[in-house]
Amino acid sequence: MKIGINGGGIGGMAAAIALRQAGHDVEVYEQATSYGRVGADINLTPNAARALASLGVLDALKETAAQPTHRISRMWDTGEETSRLPMGEEAEKKYGAPQLTIHRADLLNALRMKLPENIVLLGHRIESIDTTGANPVVRFADGTSRGVDALVGADGIHSPTRTALFGPESPQFTGLVSYRSVVDRSKLNIPNLDAFTKWWGPTPDLQIVTFPLNRGREIFVFATTAQDDWRHESWTMPGDVNELRKAYAGFHAEARALLDACETVTKSALYVRDPLPRWSVGRVTLLGDACHPMVPFMAQGACMAIEDAVVLGRALKGVDVAGVASAFLNYENARKDRTARVQIGSRGNEWLKQGGNADWVYGYVASAAALTGPA
């Protein structure tokens, strides 16, 4: 089949590899005119690293990724550790793949290297999707259009494909904003920089997450604050680092040192959405943030998109135009319960606060999960 993928982000590129491995012709439509170094962190827990291994990109990722040694929870004032989960080699032994933390641009680059250049059409901003004829048709802002046998909407939180299938959504603002920064490691002189550490605040709106990037040469810093008057859900808007530091003035000195080291921050409002009851209509389906956008408190947004891609590729193996609608339903049935559980769990923001068993998330094997019914 000729399969179109709306969106050349992490989920779209992973799906392009998986669908080509399944024997299909693939074309990716991406609004950006080039791939710059946009964004910051991506956390790839063993479930995602294992899925990426099945796509053949794990070795390339290891060239730039860091491998956190532990996943630690600490109290905001005393610094006391309330949980410490070994990651590193122990996670690799247990789950068959390591945890990797990587700059988003490096992950995208590793995925792109697995694809022929001419299948990603940059500068193609999707304006609408027409599902009224036999084949889905994608219409672009420049007036051109493409008809395909099947279409995958991997076009992110504000997905035009989702809107075409199910109408406009109404996300709820959480009252929280997130700040992100990448800091040169040499600016920090505190312990545990090679671990994934979460500082739990006195109230759920205050938390800092930090982990290594770029083989440990850089440290990623994420923090949230309550704020009612900021509603921009964007990955690239700048924020005020002093405003952030002020909110954390009472925190442990090691937590404050992290924020002191941030030179610039991006700021994004956090919204929650309920799980979608359906992802597919006929020969069009959704993938990644387009169908299960989540707040980042379990760090699973990219991981779920990558798992989706691998399961989608398996569901479409050997399938032709006559079978694609039911193959999309098999894919959606295999994925919906899991992604809804992670979406809702992320909203609860209690993940591994006091330890606990991470196996149901980290131990999932996308390349072997059941293809019909709940995975």
155 binds ligand FAD (CB under 6 A): yes
Taking the least distance from each CB to ligand FAD, the nearer of 189 and 234 is 234
352: left (phi over 0), alpha (psi -120 to 50) or beta: left
- Candidate list 24, 26, 30, 252; residue touching ligand FAD; CB under 6 A: 30
Using alpha carbons, list the distances in angstroms from residue 11 to 71, 177, 224, 249, 362: 25, 24, 25, 38, 18
Strands (E), 76-217: 81-86, 100-103, 120-121, 126-130, 137-140, 145-147, 150-153, 172-184, 196-200, 207-213
- Candidate list 104, 112, 198, 338; residue touching ligand FAD; CB under 6 A: 104
In whole angstroms, what is the distance from residue 242 CA to residue 268 CA?
16
The contact mask relative to ligand FAD for 59-88 (x = CB under 6 A, - = no) is ------------------------------
In whole angstroms, what is the distance from residue 259 CA to residue 265 CA?
10
Stretch near ligand FAD under the rule CB under 6 A, chosen from 162-170, 246-254, 282-290, 317-325: 282-290
Using alpha carbons, list the distances in angstroms from residue 123 to 57, 284, 290: 25, 22, 20
In whole angstroms, what is the distance from residue 184 CA to residue 262 CA?
9
156 binds ligand FAD (CB under 6 A): yes
Is residue 228 classed exposed, middle or buried when 0-12, 13-18 and 19+ CB atoms within 10 A define those classes? exposed
- Candidate list 4, 12, 68, 201; residue touching ligand FAD; CB under 6 A: 12
Q: What is the closest distance, in whole angstroms, from the C-beta atom of residue 193 to ligand FAD in the complex?
A: 19
332 binds ligand FAD (CB under 6 A): no
In whole angstroms, what is the distance from residue 322 CA to residue 335 CA?
22
Q: What is the closest distance, in whole angstroms, from the C-beta atom of residue 172 to ligand FAD in the complex?
A: 18
Taking the least distance from each CB to ligand FAD, the nearer of 220 and 248 is 220
302 binds ligand FAD (CB under 6 A): yes
Q: What is the closest distance, in whole angstroms, from the C-beta atom of residue 34 to ligand FAD in the complex?
A: 11
> Pairing between strand 265-272 and 172-184?
antiparallel
Taking the least distance from each CB to ligand FAD, the nearer of 220 and 252 is 220
Q: Which residue number places its CB atom closest to ligand FAD?
A: 9
212 binds ligand FAD (CB under 6 A): no
Residue type, 39: G
**Contacts to ligand FAD by CB under 6 A:** 7-12, 29-32, 38-42, 104, 125-126, 154-156, 160, 180, 235, 288-290, 296, 301-302, 305
